[in-house]
Structure 1
Amino acid sequence: MPTKPRPHALQVSPLAYEGRLDARPLSQVDLVVIHCTELPDLATAREYGERVLYAERTDGSGGTGNSGHYYVDRNGACHRFVAPDRVAHHVRGYNPRSIGIELVNAGRWPHWLDSRHQAMEEAYPDAQIEALVVLLNALRTELPSLRHIAGHEDLDTAMVPASDDPKILVPRKRDPGPMFPWQRVLAEVPLQPVGRGHAPDDS
C-alpha cells in the first residue's frame, strides 16, 4: 500500500507588523476560514501581505495590512505569517474569532471583478489539500475552542459593481471557489461548516 507524503514542516515567517496586530487569547478562536490567494504564487501573496494598508494611529497601533495567518503552497509547503494569538485582517466581521488559511491558487487573477472572468478553474493539488488537512487537525489540538470552518465566500457575500460594467454586480469574494474539495476536507477534519445552511453561534 503506498504511503501518503509526509507533511512539510511549518515555516514561520512573521510579517513585519505582526506585533502591531491586536492580541487575543487562543480560547477566543472558534472558527477557521479557508481562502485562496487569487494571486499567481506565494511570493506575490507575501508581497501583498506585507503592504501597510491601515495607517498607524496615535496610540501606536495600526500600521498593518491584510493577511491570513497560514499559507499553503501548491506543493504542500506551509507558512505562518501571523501567529494565531494575533487578530489578522482576512475576513470582514469575523477576524477577532477566526484563523485565516490562504491556499495559493490563481482564482480569478488578474481580473478579479471583471464580469467576463468570474470562473475559478485552477484545481487544488493533492499535496496542498493533504497539507491543509494536517494543518487543520494540528490547529484543532492547539486551539481547544476551534469547532467551525467556513469558506471566505460563505461569510463575505457582498455583491459589487463589475470592473468592466458597473451595471453588473459580481461577488466581492468567491474563494476558495468551486474547485475546493469540501467533501474531502470535511471527511478528514471534524469541524462544523458554517455559512452553508448553518450559522456560527456566539457561545
Structure 2
Amino acid sequence: MLPDLPLPPITVDLLPYEARLDERPLGQIDLVVIHCTELPDMAMARQFGERVHYASGTGNSGHYYIDRDGTVYQYVPLQRIAHHVRGYNARAIGIELVNIGRYPDWHDSRHQGMGEAYTEAQVAALIALLRKLQQDVPSLTQIAGHEDLDTTTTAASDDPSVQVTRKRDPGPLFPWPRVLDSVQLQRLLP
C-alpha cells in the first residue's frame, strides 16, 4: 500500500464561463492529462484561462492548477468538459502545473528547451490530488502528458519553413517514474 500524502486544501475559483462548458457524467472520465502552463506565474495562468476563444463563450483551461508552492486551485468542476487537449477532453481531467516551459517564445525554433524543474511541493500536491481523484472517480485508470496526446507540429514563429512541436508539456523534467510509482494509473501512449 502506498503511503498517504496529505492533499493541500483546494481553492475553488471557478472560471467565469464554467457553466457554459458541456456537462458529463463522472463515469465518462478515465484519463487525467498532465500539462504545464508554460507561463511565468499563477496570475498569468488565470488570465489565460479566462480568455474566451470559442463561440460558446468558453476558453482553454484545465480543471486543476498547482502552483510552485503546492497550492491547488480548481477552475472547472469535474462534471464539466474543459478544453485542454485536442480529441480527449470529453473523457479527461486536465491538471496544469505552473512552469515557465518555453514562455514567451513557445514556437520559436531557437527556444524549444524546457529547463525549469517542477518543485517538490508541486509533485507532492500532484500525487496527493491524483490519489484523491482515483477515489472520487473510480473509472479513472489512465494518465498521459499533453505531449503524448497532441503530437502535431506547427510552423516556427521565427522561421515558417521549420516545423516545431506544438505541445511539449509537461516536458522532459516531469518526474514520470515517481508519479507512476505513486499512483495506480497506467500511462496512455497512443
1:108–1:117 Cα contact (<8 Å) kept: yes
Tell me the distance in 2 between the aligned counterparts of 1:5 and 1:76.
Answer: 12
Tell me the distance in 2 between the aligned counterparts of 1:5 and 1:74.
Answer: 17
Bigger Cα Rg: 1
Cross-structure match for 2:14: 14
| Deviation (angstroms), 1:27 | 0.1
Cα displacement string for residues 104-144 of structure 1 (whole angstroms, at most 9, x for unaligned residues): 00000000000000000000000000000000000001111
Aligned length: 187
Tell me the distance in 2 between the aligned counterparts of 1:185 and 1:9.
Answer: 20
Opposite residue 52 of structure 1, the aligned amino acid is V
Q: Does 1:167 align with 2:161?
A: yes
1:7–1:76 Cα contact (<8 Å) kept: no
> Normalising to structure 2: TM-score of the pair?
0.96
> Normalising to structure 1: TM-score of the pair?
0.90
Please identify runs of 4+ aligned residues in structure 1 that moved more than 3 A.
Answer: 4-7
SS of 1:68 mapped into structure 2: coil
Q: Does 1:104 align with 2:98?
A: yes
Cross-structure match for 2:63: 69
| Deviation (angstroms), 1:190 | 1.0
Question: Aligned runs of 1:56-135 on 2, under 5 Å?
Answer: 62-135=56-129
Tell me the distance in 2 between the aligned counterparts of 1:179 and 1:192.
Answer: 19
Tell me the distance in 2 between the aligned counterparts of 1:106 and 1:189.
Answer: 26
| Deviation (angstroms), 1:7 | 3.6
Cross-structure match for 2:45: 45
Tell me the distance in 1 between the aligned counterparts of 2:73 and 2:6.
Answer: 16
Opposite residue 102 of structure 1, the aligned amino acid is E
1:70–1:78 Cα contact (<8 Å) kept: yes
Cross-structure match for 1:185: 179
Structure 2: 5+ residue stretches without partners: none
Cross-structure match for 2:24: 24
Task: Indicate the RMSD between aligned Cα atoms, in angstroms.
Answer: 1.1
